[in-house]
A and B are shown apart, each in its own frame.
Chain A
Amino acid sequence: MSDGKWLQIGAPIAVGIVFILVWHVLVVVNEVPPYIVPSPFLVMKTLAQDWGLLSGSLLVTLQVTGAALALAVVLGVALSILFVQSRLIEASLLPYAVILQVTPLVAIAPLIIIWVEDPRTALVICAAVASIFPVIANTTIGLRSVDTGLLDLFRMYGASRMQTLIRLRIPSAAPYFFAGLRVAAALALIGAVVAEFVAGTGGTQSGLAYQILQAGLQLNIPRLFAALILITLTGIALFLLVTALARISLRRWHESELPQER
């Protein structure tokens, strides 16, 4: 491994270790009670002890986030393709996509939860609403950002609209799509958590947000921290997954994923 790579991985890990140690020392020295701030080691212990409960909730949150992201990608890409077919369609629909984006999710989530009977479906819809905009916005720009020379070339060879879309517009849009996907993945997780806070659905079907809510009410702060850590780890995992996807798809040709020459 190169020095640069060691730095990239080693430095954040060192900061993390220092942070945890300082946290632990401060909690112990100041005798902070665990219902205010638990020590990091107590949080780890709780995570292990409550794993049965928390892993079930983690799975629910993962499912909601994954389904929402998939829905946002499929719908978002389809809408973008529709938008670039005609300026009229874009002009007619884009403002509503913007409205959806600027209206806070917490404000519409109660409505969606009332309208949609199945709570899980309601959560998925909320999280999809939260994450669809970056997919639409980026993919639309990408589908339009086509090299004019290549567009001329396709025209000269009599390419159909479909051929131009599949062979030219969609590949050109890929880097933009992945940039949007990175934002959308984070928003889908936030959406899933926020929607569950609003919905407050309980029982065995509950996600990590509900565990945080319950732990807070019961002053079970170590469990609250444990659930929080799981959400953060989920976010990191999603980010890495999307980054890896982008790298696999673009590394042979796009500037953003090419190895840096030093």
Chain B
Amino acid sequence: MTNSRPSSPRTAPVAVEVRAAEKVFANGVRALDPIDLVVREGEFATIIGPSGCGKSTLLRLIAGLTQPTGGSARLSPEAQSAGFAFVFQSPTLMPWTNVATNVRLPLDLAGIARTAAKRKVQHALELVGLQNFAHLYPRELSGGMQMRASIARALVTGTRLLLMDEPFGALDEITRNRLDRDLSELCAREKLTVLFVTHSIYEAVCLSSRVLVMSARPGRILMEVVIDEPQPRREAFRTTEKFARLSTGLSGMLATAMHGAPA
């Protein structure tokens, strides 16, 4: 196997470490069986699994939005100090204010001065291609552009670690492909570490350097597939035989993940 991602060898520093983390909700529902997961710097790791399998719960554990009932889920001290950003399935923008103010929010909450913040906001908007839409309100943007604004807000603090919970799940396919491609370029260029959750096999193969397949609830990581293909992904990758083979393979694993019943 050729090492196609010299920027993220399997020995790169750990960014996220989950050790035997499990989650049982207060109502007794077992969301996650003990899970182990390591994400290394520069990786684009994707979790894929049937809906309700606990993918989002796992991401929320890592983000500290909910506490594990056993084990631990944490960021490395370096990742912790540099901060991380969470991108939700919906754009989660404040509807009462414009794109620039929405993107500036993390800086405002940290008490960063306006002039310094303005430059960072401009840079973040440029990264996602929204530099000319700063003054518009979320309602005035398309779904794809709202998602771009959400990603700009995530990047504005200069964080290197993104946790993304089905960020493009609600978009139409054309917009989604476009955003997938742009995200792939952005991550390669900015050397971001991403933990991505999706239920799209296609998206997982397109974007990831590693795909983790989760079982139906209670979630466990069943399998791991390394996608050995240079980043950012070129457009032609989607039409290669390799892409088709990986997709078919993942599709079969997902079927197994759903208790062996092909969907």
Contact = CB atoms under 8 A, between A and B. Distances in A.
Interface of A: 147, 149-150, 152-159, 163, 167-168, 171-172, 174, 252-254, 258
Given A156-B65, A253-B139, A149 B92 contact: yes
Contacts of A168: 94
B110 A157 contact: yes
Nearest to B107: A157
B26 interface: no
A87 to B, nearest CB: 17
11 contacts: A150-B94, A153-B88, A156-B86, A158-B110, A167-B108, A167-B109, A168-B94, A171-B96, A172-B96, A254-B95, A258-B139
Contacts of B108: 167
B243 interface: no
A171 B90 CA distance: 19
Contacts of A172: 96
Contacts of A153: 86, 88, 92, 105
A131 B138 CA distance: 35
Interface of B: 63-65, 86, 88, 90, 92, 94-97, 105-106, 108-110, 137-139
Nearest to A155: B65
A171 B94 contact: yes
A253 B95 contact: yes
A241 to B, nearest CB: 22
A159 B109 contact: yes
Contact of A156 (B63, B96, B137, B138): B63
Given A156-B64, A158-B109, 18 more contacts: A147-B92, A149-B90, A150-B94, A153-B88, A153-B92, A153-B105, A155-B65, A156-B86, A157-B106, A157-B109, A158-B110, A159-B109, A168-B94, A171-B94, A252-B137, A252-B139, A253-B95, A258-B139
Nearest to B108: A167
Nearest to B85: A156
Nearest to A158: B109
Contacts of A163: 109
Contact of B86 (A152, A167, A253, A254): A152
Contact of A150 (B65, B92, B139): B92
**Residue among A147, A149, A174 with the most chain B CB within 10 A?**
A149
B94 A152 contact: no
Contact of A149 (B64, B88, B109): B88
Contacts of B138: 253
**Residue among B64, B65, B94 with the most chain A CB within 10 A?**
B94
Contacts of B96: 171-172, 174, 252-254
Contacts of B65: 152, 155-156
Contacts of B139: 252-253, 258
